[in-house]
Amino acid sequence: MRKNVDFLVIGSGIAGLTFAIKVAKHGKVCIVTKSAVDDTATSWAQGGIAAVSYTPDSYEKHINDTIIAGDGLCNEEVVRFTITESTERIRELIKWGTKFDRTKSGRFDLAKEGGHSEYRVLHHKDSTGREIENTLLEQAKKHPNIEILEHTFTIDIITQHHLGLEVNRRTENITCYGAYVLNPRTRLVDTILSKITLIATGGAGNVYNNTTNPLISTGDGIAMVYRAKGAVENMEFIQFHPTSLYNPDEKPAFLITEALRGFGAVLKTRDGKEFMHKYDARLSLAPRDIVTRAIDNELKLSGEDYLFLDCRHLNKNELINHFPTIYAKCLSIGIDISKDMIPVVPAAHYTCGGIKVNAFGRSSIQNLYASGECSSTGLHGANRLASNSLLESVVFSHRASTEAIAKVKKIKLCNDIPDWNAEGMVLNEEMILITQSLRELQSLMSSYVGIVRSNLRLQRAFDRLELLYRETEDLYNKSLLTPRLCELRNLINIGYLIIRAAQNRHESRGLHYSLDYPKVAPTAR
């Protein structure tokens, strides 16, 4: 089956939906999403969205906090416009129906998270992402120009390569003509031709075995662009959230938001001793990378599997009122957070790098944009400041939409694209070939390419990955495609990109820490 649209949007989280709503007045939009429409990382965001609201906060303070967290690699111009445009984007979210919590006087009830010098995180209880996702979905579903295809897996974007033309990484005029997607009804590969394509496929946390990311976060968009020879950068900067709930075998790991530490919860050892003073003067509210390495170190010293977050000294009613989801979740596994300490452990949480884009979300491939966690905009640098990612998504989807709207009328669909050729492919009946390879990949990435790295560990990971790569490519080239096989292939590409980027960085900076290069190099890259 073939379909022609003006705008193809891959992903139905905050980045994809915001873009789709904005461009829908200017042409036919198709959103493809590989699972249920609201099965996104966006739906899981707890803490909120960072934006300056009142004095004593200011744009300058938020800019400064973002740049400090980014450890020398932020693009200052990007930081500046993202933060100054936040006010308008928040107004828009509210206009569409998002309800942020307010105090009795009607002002926003702002939270504070690690690395923020002021209270500036707008939230809806502790389920801000769900509130935003529902609001955006309501808008998208009622727009007559937007079609949403659920459970439709995008395999690859279409470029000159599919016309049989030679494309290399230095080619400057690679163009995107749409994408090949798996039709869930026929199980065949459909062709969607588009004038403009937006990749909004989210992060890649599932390349590690403990992650807060939902199962959909398998780095598909980043891998697709890499395979299409587009620019991808900063993949070594994977943010591990210091505090996921220790509950082995639960996937995804349940996040205990930083806002709880902002509210007064304190990190402690099993015997109730504080330890953060050994690592940073900001104690439990130090930036995430510092807290994560501190926990990693304490766990290595003690041999324990987890540490604790203590809320017992906080007002019980206020605690439950602010964090109802966390309270209920912990209670469901027998932990009353007003009486018991919460067992916590770090988990892969956020992919800072990704598809390299300019100030308008444009990738190095013509007519292809990227927004949200799959992109690398220059906002986060070597480390993301908490709650800046939802903000980045709305700012860049807005900017991308303005350029895409201005361009779309001048672009012609390419009608020479061949259909997907599945001749000679057979259905792989043995799921074990995929599940075991995935386990091996996650295990090697967690053991060798996690919070603390070294040359030896990275080389080990690389050598083992090579075998998985060869076996999986072989399977991919012979098999009728399934989402699980494609995800495994994508995650192997992601593993490769993280390892290679980590090997090429001969310093410790932001989220990348190497035992062989423990210092920051004198000049930023």
Ligand X SMILES: Cc1cc2nc3c(=O)[nH]c(=O)nc-3n(C[C@H](O)[C@H](O)[C@H](O)COP(=O)(O)OP(=O)(O)OC[C@H]3O[C@@H](n4cnc5c(N)ncnc54)[C@H](O)[C@@H]3O)c2cc1C
**Touching ligand X, residues 22-41 (CB under 6 A):** 32-35, 39-41
| Interacting residue with ligand X among 23, 45, 337, 485 (CB under 6 A) | 45
Residue with token string 């987890």 = 306
Burial 195-204 (b: 16+ CB within 10 A, else e): bbbbbbbbbb
The number of angstroms, rounded, from the C-alpha of 168 to the middle of its chain's C-alpha atoms is 27
User: Could you say whether residue 16 binds ligand X (CB under 6 A)?
Assistant: yes
User: Could you say whether residue 42 binds ligand X (CB under 6 A)?
Assistant: yes
- Of the pair 152, 514, the CB lying nearest ligand X is at 152
- Residue ranges of E strands in 150-237: 153-158, 178-182, 189-199, 232-233
Tell me the closest approach of the beta carbon of residue 481 to ligand X, in angstroms: 11
Tell me the closest approach of the beta carbon of residue 48 to ligand X, in angstroms: 5
| Interacting residue with ligand X among 14, 21, 295, 337 (CB under 6 A) | 14
Cβ–Cβ < 8 Å for 514, 502: yes
Cβ–Cβ < 8 Å for 230, 365: yes
How many CA atoms within 13 Å lie on the side-chain side of 200?
A: 38
| Interacting residue with ligand X among 202, 230, 378, 450 (CB under 6 A) | 202
The span of 54-62, 198-206, 330-338, 492-500 binding ligand X (CB under 6 A) equals 198-206
Residue 371, token pair as written in the block: 């927004």
* 199/178 Cα distance (integer angstroms): 11
Burial 96-131 (b: 16+ CB within 10 A, else e): eebebbeeeeeebbbbbbbbbebbbbbbbbbbbbbb
SS3 155: strand
* 501/299 Cα distance (integer angstroms): 27
The span of 268-276, 356-364, 369-377, 497-505 binding ligand X (CB under 6 A) equals 369-377
User: Could you say whether residue 44 binds ligand X (CB under 6 A)?
Assistant: yes
Q: Containing H/E element for 432?
A: helix 432-448
* 309/337 Cα distance (integer angstroms): 9
Tell me the closest approach of the beta carbon of residue 271 to ligand X, in angstroms: 29
Tell me the closest approach of the beta carbon of residue 182 to ligand X, in angstroms: 8
- Of the pair 389, 514, the CB lying nearest ligand X is at 389
**Touching ligand X, residues 111-130 (CB under 6 A):** 128-129
SS3 326: helix
Residue 294, token pair as written in the block: 């501190």
Sequence-separated (6 or more) residues with CB below 8 Å from residue 406: none
312 is a catalytic site residue: no
User: Could you say whether residue 372 binds ligand X (CB under 6 A)?
Assistant: yes
User: Could you say whether residue 307 binds ligand X (CB under 6 A)?
Assistant: no
- Of the pair 9, 458, the CB lying nearest ligand X is at 9
Choose the catalytic residue: 89, 130, 261, 288: 288
Tell me the closest approach of the beta carbon of residue 278 to ligand X, in angstroms: 27
- Of the pair 155, 461, the CB lying nearest ligand X is at 155
User: Could you say whether residue 310 binds ligand X (CB under 6 A)?
Assistant: no
User: Could you say whether residue 376 binds ligand X (CB under 6 A)?
Assistant: no
User: Could you say whether residue 213 binds ligand X (CB under 6 A)?
Assistant: yes
The span of 42-50, 163-171, 185-193, 316-324 binding ligand X (CB under 6 A) equals 42-50
| Interacting residue with ligand X among 6, 7, 9, 11 (CB under 6 A) | 11
Which of 321, 288, 344 has the alpha carbon at shortest distance from 123? 321
Which of 224, 309, 243, 304 has the alpha carbon at shortest distance from 275? 309
Q: Are strands 178-182 and 354-356 parallel, antiparallel or unpaired?
A: unpaired
Q: Are strands 266-268 and 342-351 parallel, antiparallel or unpaired?
A: unpaired
Tell me the closest approach of the beta carbon of residue 350 to ligand X, in angstroms: 6
Tell me the closest approach of the beta carbon of residue 140 to ligand X, in angstroms: 12
Alpha-carbon dihedral sign for residues 71, 456, 235, 173: positive
- Of the pair 356, 464, the CB lying nearest ligand X is at 356
Residue 217, token pair as written in the block: 């976060």
| Interacting residue with ligand X among 8, 9, 10, 136 (CB under 6 A) | 10
* 74/383 Cα distance (integer angstroms): 9
| Interacting residue with ligand X among 66, 194, 212, 284 (CB under 6 A) | 212
- Write the interaction track for ligand X spanning residues 46-65; mark x where CB under 6 A is met and - where it is not: xxxx----------------
User: Could you say whether residue 199 binds ligand X (CB under 6 A)?
Assistant: no
Cβ–Cβ < 8 Å for 194, 30: yes
**Touching ligand X, residues 387-426 (CB under 6 A):** 387, 389-390, 393
- Of the pair 37, 174, the CB lying nearest ligand X is at 37
> Which residues bind to ligand X, rule: CB under 6 A?
10-16, 32-35, 39-42, 44-49, 128-129, 153-154, 200-202, 212-213, 216-217, 220, 255, 350, 372-374, 387, 389-390, 393
Catalytic residues, by residue number, are: 288
